[in-house]
Structure 1
Amino acid sequence: FEFVEEVERDLHKELGEQVEINFNVSTTTGSSPNTLTFRLTDSDEQRLHSSVDKVQQELAKEQVITKVSTDLDITVKEVQIEVDREKAKDYGFVPAQIAQTVNQMTKGQLTTQIMAEDGAVLPVYTGFGQVFNDSIESLKSMQLRSPAGLFVKLEDIATVSVQEGPVSIRRSDQAAAVAFFVEYETKESLGGISAKVDKALEKADLPSETQVVFSGDRELYDSAINDMLLAVALAIVLVYIVMAAQFESFKYPFVIMFTVPLMIIGVAIAMFATNTLIGVTSVIGVLVLVGIVVNNGIVLVDYINQQKAKGMATYNAILLATQDRLRPILMTALTTILGLLPLALGIGEGTEMNQPMGIVVIGGLVTSTLLTLYIVPIIYSLMDKETRKMR
């Protein structure tokens, strides 16, 4: 996406504004890159168009937004026939009858069907050919037969003109809808632009009847982040339950679980230092870390319990465990860190998507491993009755 922006800038510099340059680029989800999409819905079309103008004005004030377009901006020339109800009534016409007659005389009418040799059913239309399709004047001179038997020209009961009309009419939950396409700079994250768009919508002060519905990457982002955070919380609970069953105690697993917040320090530092954004892959890294960082705590606490079972005092067991388990803890942590290093450095084709996961896991492991050797013994000493009141 950065490459596309660079090439577009260079081409505009060489060619100026004499040509229109478009790039066909899509994300891994199939959506347009750096584009946030949402739609406004309202049962009243006039109120909806007023809301659209307000939102466009607020979004245009954001510097990171490069372009704002809607369904209303994309139009095509079409022939519009506006019936004068009073004149039509005088001749005994209703608008629906006029529309049906014009449709039959321009497109023809289905009169029969024939069976082809291969069994296909082919419809047969009877009409006037291109007589009324050649020009606006021929359409205006079209004569319609009234219920009274009089022939009336179309231009006498309706206004025929060429106007700009929408390419498509969008509906959402049986209400009129207008889709927004907000293009923003590559340096801006999806979470950042989402916050800016939410703020702009708030400033627009839309009526309560006008609803805002997000779609595309924003919809996936909201649902994915919520699901992943729920998965992280569930992982913490499951890890605690498993350790409680293994240690046959609720106290010691609680001590070990203090390694989880220690990893958040490293995750925050690593992501800030590498300018990595929070996304689905980085949250997966946090999910993986929940199961990895507790290993060091398990090794430490289990060894302390083993020494206490042999009759050693709690204070001495804690000191011995931090000395004897230092090398095994460092070895297990280093193997994981070094194994993920190529992924964190982005070495290899297509590693950009999973690179945040490697950065998160390495950052969390480094701080969790180092701080576990200090924090877990302190928490253990506070939980044990022998060392709780020691100075």
Structure 2
Amino acid sequence: MKVDIGGRKPIVDIEDGIENTTSGPAVVFNVNPDSAARAGFGVDDLGVVATAIMEGEPAIQPVIINERPYTLRVRYPAANRTSLEAMSNTMLVNSNGSTSTLGSLTAIAEAPGQTEVLRENLQRDANVTARLEGIDLGTGIAAVQKTVADLKLPPAIRVEYGGAYQEQQRSFRDLVTVLVLAVVLIFLVLLFEFRAFSAPIAILSSAVLSTSGVFFALLITRTEFNVSSFMGLIMVVGIVAKNGILLLDANQKYRAAGMPVEDAMIQAGRRRLRPIVMTALAAVAGMLPLALALGAGSQMLQPLAIAVIGGILISMVLSLIITPAIQYYLTRS
């Protein structure tokens, strides 16, 4: 399977799930107990030698570096495992000083590789793996899904996407739940504060519409929408709700003073314009170094900062237009 995007091939190191499940070839050492005993070697001794030739034998004591233990493996030189003949000619010395070759004590043979068949729930399972290069996860997965769809696979074959994509989708589902809970909790808090449904509806309408600034900021900065930016979107909903509280609280005071509905709303907007703008600009200024990826590790949270800045900037307009308009429409009678 080859994936092509704009003349480039960003999906690299593709493993088909069949060849990488082939084990072997294997080298088999069959010890002759009688020959080993006459030469002064035990069967376990020859097993240690075989392990030391092929993959190395762990040392008894680890090496301590910076108060951390590291296990060493003692391994024969590469020349001793280049071929079966080289292994057979490996010279061994017993505790008495007598010497023998490994081939005189064991029969060394090479077993062909065996294809491992993986099954899950009695169904054949083949894991196709790859790596993305110079492309984001969403675009890469979309290209892979299109390529797989073009293969016209039979209905008996089921394709599931795992790895980083599966973890991302699970995180998105969890964050959607968090977003819904955040909106519900904000609505309940506003309902207890204003003791009416009009104010929570007006404030949350502006907060939800302010999330459009999140996507606009990510679009113009060419930043992908990931888990970090999703967290920024949730933060925007809570931050923007604060602007609506300031505005409608002032509106209630002017209404209580006997002002008409329209005049009270206009006066509240004039009164709260400066606090809303100043707090929004202060939040943007605080997020700006993170959005510019200044400092070590800031790239991880850069999408969050960009999302928050975009949502806050557009909320300055929406909080002073959408929230008063909806509140006036719901309470004009």
TM over 0.5: yes
Q: Distance in 1 between matches of 2:31 and 2:235?
A: 63
How far the C-alpha of 1:174 sits from its partner, in A, is 4.1
Change (3 A) 1:133 1:171: farther
**2:137 corresponds to:** 190
How far the C-alpha of 1:68 sits from its partner, in A, is 2.1
Pairing of 1:306-325 with structure 2 (within 5 A): 306-325=253-272
Q: 2:108 aligns with which of 124, 128, 134?
A: 134
How far the C-alpha of 1:384 sits from its partner, in A, is 1.6
| Equivalent residue letter for 2:15 | S
Instruction: Give the number of equivalent residue pairs.
Output: 265
| Equivalent residue letter for 2:255 | K
How far the C-alpha of 1:263 sits from its partner, in A, is 1.4
How far the C-alpha of 1:79 sits from its partner, in A, is 6.9
Structure 1 residues 138-184: Cα deviation after superposition (integer angstroms, max 9, x where no partner) = xxxxxxxxxxxxxxxxxxxxxxxx65544x55333343322111223
Q: Distance in 2 between matches of 1:219 and 1:225?
A: 10
How far the C-alpha of 1:243 sits from its partner, in A, is 0.5
SS at 1:278 equivalent: coil
SS at 1:208 equivalent: coil
Q: 1:71 aligns with which of 17, 20, 23?
A: 17
**1:361 corresponds to:** 308
How far the C-alpha of 1:67 sits from its partner, in A, is 4.0
How far the C-alpha of 1:354 sits from its partner, in A, is 0.4
**1:256 corresponds to:** 203
Change (3 A) 1:320 1:135: closer
| Equivalent residue letter for 2:107 | N
Query: Does residue 275 of structure 1 match 2:222?
Result: yes
**2:174 corresponds to:** 227
| Equivalent residue letter for 1:171 | R
How far the C-alpha of 1:299 sits from its partner, in A, is 0.7
Question: Could you tell me whether the CA contact under 8 Å between 2:30 and 2:108 is conserved in 1?
Answer: no
Structure 1 residues 264-298: Cα deviation after superposition (integer angstroms, max 9, x where no partner) = 22112211111110100000001111110011111
Q: 1:333 aligns with which of 272, 280, 283?
A: 280
Question: Could you tell me whether the CA contact under 8 Å between 1:106 and 1:130 is conserved in 2?
Answer: no
| Equivalent residue letter for 1:64 | P
Change (3 A) 1:234 1:123: farther
Q: Distance in 1 between matches of 2:3 and 2:311?
A: 40
Query: Does residue 284 of structure 1 match 2:231?
Result: yes
Q: Distance in 1 between matches of 2:190 and 2:332?
A: 21
Query: Does residue 265 of structure 1 match 2:239?
Result: no
How far the C-alpha of 1:135 sits from its partner, in A, is 4.8
Give the unaligned 5+ runs of structure 1.
1-55, 81-102, 110-121, 137-161, 387-391
Query: Does residue 172 of structure 1 match 2:172?
Result: no
| Equivalent residue letter for 1:379 | I
Q: Distance in 2 between matches of 1:324 and 1:243?
A: 21
Question: Could you tell me whether the CA contact under 8 Å between 2:30 and 2:106 is conserved in 1?
Answer: yes
- TM-score, normalization: structure 2? 0.71
Pairing of 1:79-98 with structure 2 (within 5 A): none
SS at 2:131 equivalent: strand
Give the unaligned 5+ runs of structure 2.
34-43, 48-102
**2:64 corresponds to:** none
SS at 1:356 equivalent: helix
Q: Distance in 2 between matches of 1:60 and 1:265?
A: 32
- TM-score, normalization: structure 1? 0.61
Q: Distance in 1 between matches of 2:167 and 2:113?
A: 35
Q: Distance in 2 between matches of 1:213 and 1:381?
A: 51
SS at 1:183 equivalent: strand
How far the C-alpha of 1:131 sits from its partner, in A, is 7.3
| Equivalent residue letter for 1:307 | Y
Deviates more, 1:169-178 or 1:227-236: 169-178
How far the C-alpha of 1:78 sits from its partner, in A, is 2.7
Q: 2:150 aligns with which of 198, 203, 218?
A: 203
Structure 1 residues 313-361: Cα deviation after superposition (integer angstroms, max 9, x where no partner) = 1111011111111111112112211111111111110000001100100
Question: Could you tell me whether the CA contact under 8 Å between 1:284 and 1:357 is conserved in 2?
Answer: yes
SS at 1:293 equivalent: helix
**1:247 corresponds to:** 194
